[in-house]
Amino acid sequence: MSLLARPRPAAQAPAPATPASPHVPCAWLALLAAPVAASANSPVLILPDMAGSLGIRTATATWLVTVFAWAMAVGTPLMAALLRRRGLGATLRLSALLIVVGTAVVAVAPWLPLAMTGRAAQAVGGAGLVTAAMSLAGSVRRMGVITAGFGTLGAVGPLLGSAIAGTSSWRASLAVGAVALLALPAVMRRADLSAPEQTTPFDGRGAALLVLTATALVLVPRYPLPAVAAALTSTALLALHIRSHPTGFVPAALLRTRAFALSALIACTFATSYFTLLFTIPQLLRDRTDWSTSTIGTGQLVALLVGSALSMVLAAASAGLGRPRVLTILLTVGALAPLTAVLTPWAPLLLLVATLAVFTTSAGQATLAVYATQAAPAAQRPTAIGLFNLCYQLGGAFGPAIAALITLGG
């Protein structure tokens, strides 16, 4: 199936993961998924404060961002596998437990490694909530509400993190992801929480190889040579495993589906660009202007909110526009964002770059996620969502590391 093939009407895209999914209002799904974006982005403006508190360099403090993105990346397919095998109830309960425990650890951790452990637990829990919400979406329009909410709270994240850190502490600013737990009672009342029947054993080796591959890829921007070598080795082992276990943790048929593969690759590219710019633009504005931190945060917030709102408009209009036009818009705007950042001689234009970047990644995640899952059989749609989001979250891991190399000297 070609990625550019004529799309099915929005009402047919893709079948809900559970029978009760249409009865969960998308506002609750957005609340379930979006706060993790605020948690991921809350350190953007307070990295120096975090570094000073922990007695480390600012560049080293970016590990708290990278480990969060890494845990989101590897946690997403694992949580998708849990959703497929144990159902929505088990996924939501484990996700909530991880968020609570991780937030408690971050609140008291005196050392960077312990704080990173807490952030990882928060991220895996958040990955489970995002996977659950997207599995209940059922259409581009509903997926657009979720990803626009994701983009909006991601936009609010930097300023919110700065404000909370200013009035309380940076540790409190990393706890905003726990707001998602407010949506749990409503979602669990309306959705089907039963566990599906399973006839095949869990592919532990495939899962381990995928985690190793994702981990090596996340480390490429920081340790290029050893990470590339590790990534190539683990990718080769994973390919051999998929060949011998084509229906395992990573289904071979899904990888051979052009619509899924291209959607996931484009989503990863968009996310890498967005997260790189998200962490680079504040530093560039500090260097090129005399704006205060609050002015930079406010300007970036407005720019990202505008881009998030526009992304929801595109997601809602995508069925009428058709797949080729939507992809043309996304690819064009996605290319303009980094080019403008590199070439603009006028610093305030960097705020427009933020608008273009969040528009591309939010609208792209909404539309491409549906394109990717449409290509999968109904039984494999949780797996498709998990692997698609893995690619998106890899961009979330690459971006801050690349930004650190650009603005903080690695």
* CATH number assigned to the domain comprising residue 271: 1.20.1250.20
**pLDDT-derived band at 3, boundaries 50, 70, 90:** very low
Q: Which two tokens stand for residue 169?
A: 């502490």
pLDDT in tens, 66-105: 899 889 888 988 998 898 888 899 999 999 999 999 999 9
Collapsing DSSP states into helix, strand and coil, what is residue 300? Answer: helix
Q: 380 with 403, same domain?
A: yes
Domain that holds residue 179: 24-193
In angstroms, rounded to a whole number, what is the distance separating the alpha carbons of residues 186 and 183?
6
Q: Does residue 284 sit in the same domain as residue 216?
A: no
pLDDT of residue 191: 82
Structure confidence at residue 7 as a pLDDT band (50, 70, 90): very low
349's tokens:
């234009």
Let me know whether 116 and 215 are in one domain: no
Per-residue pLDDT at 8 exceeds 70? no
Report the alpha-carbon angle 237-241-242, nearest 5. 120
Q: What is the pLDDT of residues 346-404, one digit of tens each?
A: 888 899 999 999 899 888 888 888 888 887 777 777 888 888 888 888 887 788 778 87
Distance CA 262, CA 133 (A): 23
Look at the block and give the residue holding tokens 């071979």. Answer: 252
What is the share, in percent, of the chain residues with pLDDT greater than 70?
93
Q: How many CA atoms lie within 13 A of 343 on its CB side?
A: 6
| pLDDT at residue 17 is higher than 50 | no
Residue 8 lies in a domain: no
Structure tokens, 332 = 């064009």
Report the pLDDT value the prediction gives residue 329, as an integer from 0 to 100.
Answer: 93
Residues 8, 374, 234: CA angle, nearest 5 degrees = 150
Q: Which of 262, 315, 14 is nearest to 135 (CA)?
A: 14
Q: What share of the chain is helix, strand, coil (3-state, %, to 5)?
A: 80, 0, 20
Q: Model confidence at 2, in pLDDT bands (50, 70, 90)?
A: very low
- Are residues 150 and 280 both part of a single domain? no
**Cβ-Cβ contacts under 8 Å for 122 (sequence gap 6 or more):** 36, 39, 68, 71, 98, 99, 102, 103, 106, 174, 177
**Residue 409 clears pLDDT 60, i.e. is over it:** no
What pLDDT, on the 0 to 100 scale, is given for residue 63?
87
For the ranges 100-114, 127-141, 142-156, the maximum mean pLDDT occurs at 100-114
The total of structural domains in the chain comes to 3
DSSP state of 62: T
Please state the rounded mean pLDDT for residues 30-49.
87
User: How much is the pLDDT for 99?
Assistant: 96
Stronger pLDDT, 252 or 401, i.e. the higher one: 252
If pLDDT is split at 50, 70 and 90, which confidence band does 213 have? very high
Report the alpha-carbon angle 306-22-87, nearest 5: 105
User: Which pLDDT does position 240 carry in this prediction?
Assistant: 96
Q: What is the pLDDT of residue 243?
A: 93
Burial (CB < 10 A; 0-12, 13-18, 19+), residue 2, is exposed
Residues 363 and 235 in one domain: no
- Top-confidence range, 1-5, 217-221, 328-332: 328-332
Quote the DSSP letter at residue 345. Answer: S
The rounded percent of the chain whose pLDDT value lies above 90 is 32
Coil, strand or helix at 35: helix
d(CA 254, CA 260): 7
Arithmetic mean of pLDDT over the chain: 84
Alpha carbon distances (Å) from 25 to 22, 358, 380:
7, 24, 24
Q: By C-alpha distance, which of 15, 7, 74 is closest to 387?
A: 74
Of 239, 266, 294, the residue that ends a domain is 239
126-147 average pLDDT score? 84
Cα 49 from Cα 55, distance rounded (Å)? 10
CB 47 within 8 A of CB 57: no
pLDDT over 50 at 21, yes or no: no
Indicate whether 134 and 41 sit together in one domain. yes
Tell whether 170 and 227 lie within a shared domain. no
Reply yes or no on whether the pLDDT at 34 is more than 70.
yes
* Within a domain: 80: yes
Is the pLDDT reported for residue 220 higher than 90? no
Are 360 and 384 members of one domain? yes
In a domain, 198, yes or no: no
Burial class (CB in 10 A: 0-12, 13-18, 19+), 261: middle
What are the helix (H) ranges across 168-203? 170-173, 184-190
pLDDT band with cut points at 50, 70 and 90 for residue 1: very low
CB-CB contact of 154 with 277 (8 Å):
no
What local confidence, expressed as pLDDT, does residue 20 receive? 39
Residue 4 in domain? no
The rounded distance, in Å, linking the Cα atoms of 201 and 226 is 33
Instruction: Indicate if 367 and 328 belong to the same structural domain.
Output: yes
**What pLDDT is attached to residue 4?**
40
